[in-house]
Amino acid sequence: MGKKHIVQKTKDELIKEREKIETASKKEIKGAPQKIKEGKIYISSSYNNTIMTLTDPQGNTLTQTSAGNIGFKGTKKGTPFAASKVAEVMAQRAQKLGVERVEVLVKGIGSGRESAIRSLANRGLDIIAISDITPIPHNGCRPPKVRRV
């Protein structure tokens, strides 16, 4: 095996990557209703991806985004960095819709849970409540029948 070659990105490549993330957040939001002040953000964080959905208080979806939607591929989609980028895009879309106060509902056991919430808070959204809605089995599945020898 030869020497490892470390690839460093130039300024142009970094600017192009940033523009790609910004254009992903600037896509037109279809069926956008009048300005809504409050909403709910559902964060579904698995080992493989982080998906965020913005809804109105009744639960009607306004917009959604995910790590794969932004441009992350493979195992990078499940990282906390990808989750924070997803949260940044979601915060931009929420501000574009006029949503100021949000209730955050987190589901799943992925590594992007906390970083997504922190990123939402840092982007200027007023977080009313944070609740965990991860499904928890309370009795488990039925055990196998007794083995007869």
What's residue 22's pLDDT?
74
CB 95 within 8 A of CB 35: no
Cα 149 from Cα 141, distance rounded (Å)? 24
The CA-based diameter of the chain, rounded to the nearest angstrom, is: 71
pLDDT band at 35 (very low <50, low <70, confident <90, very high): confident
Whole-model pTM: value is: 0.74
- Which pLDDT belongs to residue 125? 93
Q: Which among 41, 43, 52, 59 has a CA at the least distance from the CA of 108?
A: 43
- Of residues 107 and 142, which shows the higher confidence score? 107
Model confidence at 131: pLDDT above 90: yes
Sheet holding 61-66, edge to edge: 61-66, 50-55, 38-45, 101-107, 126-132
The residue with greater pLDDT, 28 or 115, is 115
Q: Which domains does the chain have, with CATH numbers?
A: 35-132 (3.30.420.80)
Is the pLDDT at 114 greater than 90? The verdict is yes
Query: Is the CB of residue 16 less than 8 Å from the CB of residue 80?
Result: no
59-112, pLDDT tens digit by residue?
Answer: 999 999 999 999 999 999 999 999 999 999 999 999 999 999 999 999 999 999
pLDDT value, residue 139:
87
